[in-house]
Amino acid sequence: MKRNSVVRIIIISSYAIFIALSWIFNFGPGKEITYNFASFSLDMLKVLPCAFILIGLFEIWVKRETIEKHFGEKSGIRGYLWGILLASTTVGGLYVAFPVAYSLYSKGAKLGVIFTYIGASAICRVPMTIFEASFLGVKFSAIRLLVAIPLVVITSMLLGNYLRKRNYRIVEGK
């Protein structure tokens, strides 16, 4: 067994023991941590099944050439625009963006677009931005988007180029 999985098993089982003991001995902090765990798991369960079903359908139905053309090395600046548009419809947050990014990458999207997609799905999701604007004002959201998007695209291009020169590849389960 890999060292990584041993560490994981140790972490998860000691956590489970801690939770069990907390409930047996009525230990407040342990119970509160259980509630945190449950509420976050529920939040993710609302999104993840759909996200992974869509990923599976994407893998089967979308042709590699289509992704290469619009998101790949020859897509130019349009690839970045598509990355941002796709990101704006992403739900959940980074934890959904990573598996989607991996699927895009395995279908031939270039690294710069992948990082743009991840960055943009953190900051330009449409429902989130509307929510943000309603609590903090339109000016606040506008400044954030106008500053963030160019920075995300530029740094993603640089990071993508740098990694491509070093023959970096994304592999599931590193």
List own/partner pairs for 91-94 with CB under 8 A and 24 or more apart.
91/47, 91/51, 91/125, 91/127, 92/44, 92/47, 92/48, 92/51, 93/121, 93/122, 93/125, 94/118, 94/121, 94/122
Contact 112, 79 (CB under 8 A): yes
For position 22 contacting another protein by CB under 8 A, the verdict is: no
Tell me: does residue 78 bind another protein (CB under 8 A).
no
Interface with another protein by CB under 8 A: which range of 63-71, 77-85, 126-134? 126-134
Mapped onto helix, strand or coil, the DSSP state of residue 166 is coil
Would you say 55 and 100 are in contact if contact means Cβ atoms under 8 Å apart? yes
Neighbour tally for 113: CB within 10 Å: 30
46, 63, 64, 78: which one binds another protein (CB under 8 A): 46
Nearer to another protein, 73 or 132 (CB): 132
Whose Cβ is closer to another protein: residue 81's or residue 91's?
Answer: 91
Q: Does 143 bind another protein (CB under 8 A)?
A: yes
Which of 25, 61, 76, 167 binds another protein (CB under 8 A)? It is 61
| DSSP at 73 | G
- Residues in touch with another protein (CB under 8 A): 5, 8, 11-12, 15, 29, 32-34, 36-37, 40-41, 43-44, 46-50, 52-57, 59-61, 91, 93-95, 98-99, 101-102, 115, 118-119, 122-123, 125, 127-128, 131-132, 134-136, 139-140, 143-144, 147-148, 151-152, 155, 159, 163, 168, 170-174
